[in-house]
Chain A
């Protein structure tokens, strides 16, 4: 297990009182209080804990209290593209969205392929102290896919995984060596699985909608080919392999089969791939806020992703929060960059469209955002077990919200969910015993 608790300093004891605690890591769903000690770690959970003066009390009556949520796939754009997002604005977005931990990808400028960049990220995150920001180091120098980054040095600087996200590792031998070398550190090799020779200049899913629109397509096959290859490499090397943002139903099958054979593979899915399809792209009239990579696919894929989530093939949910400046999304669909923001919409989308819609239990949704991602990346987070870091998220299952990009704490506004009315929202997060109150920006 990587130790991540040193990142954040505690600030005194905290009692979270009167809420419904849902902690899948311990099988708890009960009205109990949570006491977090001076050291910023969970001291105990029990009914009606009495505390003396000097212990801050957070009233959770009517709310769900769960381990702090994790989003292990975000882009914070710092260093280098601070006009899209910074570690501070991204941390604020995380806190506003109910997340206490995020893992930020290495495709910054410069790339997080060396200690100095990792250290910058860690220090900047500590300075704002609104969320745990876990850097993901590059697999290859400069994300060029040619030679390995200094993985050992990156680990000692604090990275929790390796990924060239955004630039799939095409070279099979480099990928094989990355899986082997990463075994020294016990960290996962995280792949944006997409064969770029098959992708070409594709801008949306290759299917009926792209055919009608004449938009260059990205076939499912681009993902399936890379997943299939990598699963063979993972099996051969014994390395830990993680597939990002699954979009293809066929890839879910490939991973299901590989898990059954005992391959050390984990994978994630985004809320948008669970909720939208290429028909939504077509019906939007090619709104650039519906453009992301991998693209939204067909309803059969969307259903296969949900089935994979329910049967445990897919390990957890992550947003692939990918901020782009509003000017960049003013271009037309084909010209605009791939990616949408997700930190401030994920929780409400999942509560409304999956939990309240009866597709998934509340405890299961919380597991997919807490202990499940923590386990996949080997992090000592996502649990309210005594001794665990005192990170908590409070949810109001009934609060009605309307997605309003103007109120995002993120610097970017690129979401396809603008105007969606959703029931259920995050209220406040607690980081190592310290309440973090970041509300959406006031309405203008």
Chain B
């Protein structure tokens, strides 16, 4: 497979990517998507390569998705979870960098609670770095897999109206998606309670709505965000029930969107909080497809960064 349209060492964010690079990832993912349908779901593309999954913050889904992608490509996948250990507190980026360099991995997949940590490590390392989420900043593979999923059902992103709804302030998913969708010619509206919207929401360069009904008006795609019921959100919403009543996506609300609108959610979903079960399990929902797409997109990213040359 030719690696056309990709020259980068790292995938740090959507912010850095050109439209052609986004298209290169999506095209590559399409060819890997088929691997999951085979009886033996393994290709030798990354045999002999070491991929280190470095998660400074707890994550089950994203880490598993990367790990499956790595194993399907025959890479040696090693998980290095440090959440809650002394490393996440006291160790400096320099020490982390040196430790990692000493293990000479081929790709580092990094998640960290703080913005731009993967960027700073990447700048000091020869190894390829994939940002698997840095604080509320970026989550590029999520945006890529969301785009890939939509494109399974729509010809193009250009001209689509996408509503992204929920806790905008604390979401890395929304930032990467806004960047990607704008670059690909979609128009975006973000919506949610005033208390979950960044004060300078307009700085994201999209339409802003404070009513879910208004945001849904004319939407071709609806992306719901997970509400963090456990965290500081107690200051932002009085209760999960009230959130669902005012801001949750149910069938009646979904009817405000365009006929046949697609529903996405990065998971894990909170049923009866941000999304009603009949929507999550309904025909419009692409939530499980997103999970399958995630593996294909991550395979594509790993291939573009580490495949081919030896």
Q: A206-B200, A332-B116, A333-B114 are contacts. A212–B94 as well, Cβ < 8 Å?
A: no
Asked whether any CB of chain B lies closer than 8 Å to the CB of A217, the reply is yes
Asked whether any CB of chain B lies closer than 8 Å to the CB of A116, the reply is no
Asked whether any CB of chain A lies closer than 8 Å to the CB of B2, the reply is no
User: In the complex the two chains form, is B93's CB within 8 Å of A211's CB?
Assistant: no
User: In the complex the two chains form, is A335's CB within 8 Å of B199's CB?
Assistant: no
User: In the complex the two chains form, is A214's CB within 8 Å of B200's CB?
Assistant: no
User: In the complex the two chains form, is A286's CB within 8 Å of B115's CB?
Assistant: yes
**Min CB distance, A56 to chain B, in Å?**
48
- What separation, in Å, do the CA atoms of A207 and B198 have in the docked complex? 8
Q: A206-B199, A217-B199 are contacts. A212–B204 as well, Cβ < 8 Å?
A: yes
The interface residues of chain B lying within 8 Å CB-to-CB of A327 are 92
The interface residues of chain B lying within 8 Å CB-to-CB of A333 are 114-116
- What separation, in Å, do the CA atoms of A37 and B116 have in the docked complex? 58
- Which partner residue on chain B sits nearest A286 by CB separation? B116
Partner of B135, one of A206, A207, A212, A214: A214
Asked whether any CB of chain A lies closer than 8 Å to the CB of B138, the reply is yes
User: In the complex the two chains form, is B199's CB within 8 Å of A207's CB?
Assistant: yes
The interface residues of chain B lying within 8 Å CB-to-CB of A219 are 199
User: In the complex the two chains form, is B200's CB within 8 Å of A213's CB?
Assistant: no
User: In the complex the two chains form, is A215's CB within 8 Å of B204's CB?
Assistant: no
- Which partner residue on chain B sits nearest A212 by CB separation? B203
The interface residues of chain A lying within 8 Å CB-to-CB of B114 are 332-335
Asked whether any CB of chain B lies closer than 8 Å to the CB of A266, the reply is no
- Which partner residue on chain A sits nearest B175 by CB separation? A214
B147-178: contact bitstring with A at CB < 8 Å (1 yes, 0 no)? Answer: 00000000000000000000000001001000
User: In the complex the two chains form, is A213's CB within 8 Å of B198's CB?
Assistant: no
Identify which of residues 25-75 in chain B touch chain A, using a CB-to-CB cut-off of 8 Å. none
Asked whether any CB of chain A lies closer than 8 Å to the CB of B226, the reply is no
User: In the complex the two chains form, is B199's CB within 8 Å of A213's CB?
Assistant: no
User: In the complex the two chains form, is B198's CB within 8 Å of A211's CB?
Assistant: yes
User: In the complex the two chains form, is A331's CB within 8 Å of B199's CB?
Assistant: no
User: In the complex the two chains form, is A285's CB within 8 Å of B120's CB?
Assistant: yes
> What is the count of residue pairs linking A and B with beta-carbon distances less than 8 angstroms?
69
The interface residues of chain B lying within 8 Å CB-to-CB of A215 are 115, 135-137
Identify which of residues 188-247 in chain A touch chain B, using a CB-to-CB cut-off of 8 Å. 200, 206-217, 219
Asked whether any CB of chain A lies closer than 8 Å to the CB of B22, the reply is no
Asked whether any CB of chain A lies closer than 8 Å to the CB of B256, the reply is no
Asked whether any CB of chain B lies closer than 8 Å to the CB of A330, the reply is yes
**Min CB distance, A72 to chain B, in Å?**
33
**Min CB distance, A149 to chain B, in Å?**
31
- What separation, in Å, do the CA atoms of A286 and B119 have in the docked complex? 10
- Which partner residue on chain A sits nearest B174 by CB separation? A214
Asked whether any CB of chain A lies closer than 8 Å to the CB of B117, the reply is yes
User: In the complex the two chains form, is A213's CB within 8 Å of B92's CB?
Assistant: no
**Min CB distance, B230 to chain A, in Å?**
16
- Which partner residue on chain A sits nearest B179 by CB separation? A212
- What separation, in Å, do the CA atoms of A327 and B198 have in the docked complex? 32
- What separation, in Å, do the CA atoms of A249 and B264 have in the docked complex? 42
A324-348: contact bitstring with B at CB < 8 Å (1 yes, 0 no)? Answer: 0001001111110000000000000
- Which partner residue on chain A sits nearest B95 by CB separation? A330
The interface residues of chain B lying within 8 Å CB-to-CB of A332 are 93, 112, 114, 116-117, 120
Asked whether any CB of chain A lies closer than 8 Å to the CB of B201, the reply is yes
- What separation, in Å, do the CA atoms of A117 and B84 have in the docked complex? 37
- What separation, in Å, do the CA atoms of A209 and B203 have in the docked complex? 8
- What separation, in Å, do the CA atoms of A219 and B169 have in the docked complex? 14
User: In the complex the two chains form, is B120's CB within 8 Å of A207's CB?
Assistant: no
The interface residues of chain B lying within 8 Å CB-to-CB of A285 are 116, 119-120
The interface residues of chain A lying within 8 Å CB-to-CB of B116 are 213, 285-286, 332-333
User: In the complex the two chains form, is A330's CB within 8 Å of B135's CB?
Assistant: no
- Which partner residue on chain B sits nearest A287 by CB separation? B120
The interface residues of chain B lying within 8 Å CB-to-CB of A213 are 115-116, 137
User: In the complex the two chains form, is B115's CB within 8 Å of A334's CB?
Assistant: yes
The interface residues of chain B lying within 8 Å CB-to-CB of A206 are 198-200
Partner of A212, one of B113, B117, B134, B175: B175
- What separation, in Å, do the CA atoms of A207 and B113 have in the docked complex? 20
Identify which of residues 178-219 in chain B touch chain A, using a CB-to-CB cut-off of 8 Å. 198-204
User: In the complex the two chains form, is A331's CB within 8 Å of B175's CB?
Assistant: no
**Min CB distance, B206 to chain A, in Å?**
11
User: In the complex the two chains form, is A211's CB within 8 Å of B135's CB?
Assistant: no
The interface residues of chain A lying within 8 Å CB-to-CB of B95 are 330
- Which partner residue on chain B sits nearest A201 by CB separation? B232
The interface residues of chain A lying within 8 Å CB-to-CB of B203 are 207-209, 211-212
User: In the complex the two chains form, is A211's CB within 8 Å of B201's CB?
Assistant: yes
B77-103: contact bitstring with A at CB < 8 Å (1 yes, 0 no)? Answer: 000000000000100111100000000
Identify which of residues 325-375 in chain A touch chain B, using a CB-to-CB cut-off of 8 Å. 327, 330-335
The interface residues of chain B lying within 8 Å CB-to-CB of A217 are 198-199
- Which partner residue on chain A sits nearest B201 by CB separation? A211
The contact sample of 12 A-B pairs, CB cut-off 8 A, is A200-B232, A208-B202, A208-B203, A211-B203, A212-B175, A213-B115, A214-B134, A215-B135, A285-B116, A285-B119, A331-B92, A332-B117
Binding site for A on B (CB under 8 A): 89, 92-95, 112-117, 119-120, 134-138, 172, 175, 198-204, 232
- Interface contacts beyond A210-B198, A219-B199, A330-B92: sample of 16 additional A-B pairs, CB < 8 Å, sorted by A: A206-B198, A211-B201, A213-B116, A214-B115, A214-B136, A214-B137, A215-B115, A215-B135, A285-B116, A285-B120, A286-B116, A331-B92, A332-B114, A333-B114, A334-B135, A335-B89
The 4 closest A-B pairs by CB, nearest first: A214-B136, A208-B203, A214-B137, A330-B92
Binding site for B on A (CB under 8 A): 200, 206-217, 219, 285-286, 327, 330-335
